[in-house]
Amino acid sequence: MSTTLKKYVFLLLFLAVNLWMYAQTTPPPPNPPPPGLPIDGGVLILALLGAIYGIRKQTN
């Protein structure tokens, strides 16, 4: 086989392999964010305890 023929065969195989390859599929879209969580009594109690702690530390 001559060098030129080897180059053409290699080029043909290289192009054929590239045509047979498939790209990676796109991932599915991300899930929508959860709805906003309501502020319930736990946050209110935590804020009141923080205020009481701050007043107590300031007076001492």
Summarised one tens digit per residue, pLDDT across range 39-53 is 677 888 889 999 999
Residue 60 is predicted with a pLDDT of 79
CA dist., res. 14 & res. 9, Å (int): 8
* Token pair in block for residue 21: 């390859």
Residue 16 is predicted with a pLDDT of 76
CA dist., res. 50 & res. 42, Å (int): 12
CA dist., res. 56 & res. 43, Å (int): 20
